């Protein structure tokens, strides 16, 4: 089953075309790692998949639900804002800089979205939060505030928070690049564990070793296009 289906995606900022016709399919349970030089469009692609950006042309479908514009000339088709928000709740997003709510405790950070966006009963959301904290090895931090945690711990909490809505796909935008080197491993270990348990993920990263070990598919972007795509050994070991 294809969970993320990107077709003919074009995205411009003003006159600058940043994505120049991107096609990408991600199947359930698969990990896709996006590599490529800075400025090649990786982050923009993730933001379009998460509907944080409007696309100029092409479509993004999450689990069969289409969103975006049809090709120029065809009838324009755009989902309403409410529909966009609903779809976005099925997508987990982990940012480079954690983006936790600083005024909420760790537990409250995990409970907030399921309760407010999905209407999950608070007691149930709390139980789920506790299980997720156990999963990322931070059960004892439930009552702490983000500012009291290390960067690695904050990012593990951010991953737990993204999982709290039980997303169909989890997107990571350079999840370890804001961390001190000694904290990178603990975050990658959490992502590896999710991969083993069949979580569908797209990970933008510069960690080649991680890509080699964890990716089902490696996608290499350059200048707004996918220039190579395949199994890690094929993409990474070719001269």
User: Which parts of this chain interact with ligand ADP (CB under 6 A)?
Assistant: 13, 18, 36, 38-44, 96, 173-174
DSSP assignment string, 56-93: SEEEEEETTEEEEEPPTTSPP----HHHHHHHHTTEEE
Closer residue to ligand ADP, CB minimum distance, 10 or 141: 10
Two structure tokens written together for 221: 């972007």
Q: How far is the CB of 196 from ligand ADP (least distance, A)?
A: 27
Distances (CA, A) of 114 to 87, 92, 161: 14, 12, 9
Q: Residue number with the shortest CB distance to ligand ADP?
A: 43
Q: How far apart are CA 194 and CA 112, in angstroms?
A: 22
Q: How many beta carbons lie within 10 A of that of residue 93, not counting itself?
A: 20
Closer residue to ligand ADP, CB minimum distance, 26 or 111: 26
DSSP assignment string, 201-228: EEEE-S-HHHHHHH-SEEEEEETTEEEE
Q: How far is the CB of 33 from ligand ADP (least distance, A)?
A: 13
Q: How far is the CB of 186 from ligand ADP (least distance, A)?
A: 21
Q: How far is the CB of 88 from ligand ADP (least distance, A)?
A: 16
Distances (CA, A) of 91 to 71, 86, 112: 25, 10, 15
Q: How far is the CB of 7 from ligand ADP (least distance, A)?
A: 19
* Helix or strand run (H / E) with residue 181: helix 181-196
Closer residue to ligand ADP, CB minimum distance, 2 or 208: 208
Q: How far is the CB of 147 from ligand ADP (least distance, A)?
A: 22
DSSP annotation of 164: T
Nearest by Cα to 232 from 75, 17, 14, 33: 33
Closer residue to ligand ADP, CB minimum distance, 36 or 152: 36
Q: How far apart are CA 75 and CA 83, in angstroms?
A: 19
Closer residue to ligand ADP, CB minimum distance, 24 or 107: 24
Q: How far is the CB of 98 from ligand ADP (least distance, A)?
A: 13
Nearest by Cα to 177 from 210, 148, 144, 201: 210
Closer residue to ligand ADP, CB minimum distance, 105 or 225: 225
Closer residue to ligand ADP, CB minimum distance, 43 or 199: 43
Two structure tokens written together for 222: 């350059």
């Amino acid at each position: 089953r294809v969970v993320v289906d990107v077709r003919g995606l074009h995205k411009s900022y003003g006159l600058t075309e940043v994505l120049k016709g991107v096609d990408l399919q991600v199947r359930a349970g698969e990990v896709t790692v996006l590599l490529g030089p800075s400025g090649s469009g990786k982050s923009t692609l993730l933001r379009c998949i998460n509907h944080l950006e409007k696309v100029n042309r092409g479509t993004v479908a999450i689990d069969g639900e289409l969103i975006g514009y049809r090709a120029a000339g065809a009838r324009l088709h755009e989902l309403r804002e409410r529909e966009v928000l609903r779809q976005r709740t099925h997508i987990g997003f982990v940012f480079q800089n954690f983006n936790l709510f600083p005024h909420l405790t760790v537990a409250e950070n995990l409970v907030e979205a399921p309760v407010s966006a999905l209407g999950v009963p608070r007691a149930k959301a709390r139980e789920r939060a506790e299980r997720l904290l156990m999963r990322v090895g931070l059960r004892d931090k439930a009552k702490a505030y983000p500012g009291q945690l290390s960067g690695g711990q904050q990012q593990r909490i951010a991953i737990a928070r993204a999982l709290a809505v039980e997303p169909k796909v989890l997107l990571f935008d350079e999840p370890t690049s804001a961390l001190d080197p000694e904290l990178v491993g603990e975050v990658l270990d959490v992502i590896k564990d999710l991969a083993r348990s069949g979580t569908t993920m797209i990970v933008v990263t510069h960690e080649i070793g991680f890509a080699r070990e964890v990716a089902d598919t490696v996608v290499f972007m350059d200048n707004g296009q996918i220039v190579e795509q395949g199994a890690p050994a094929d993409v990474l070991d070719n001269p």
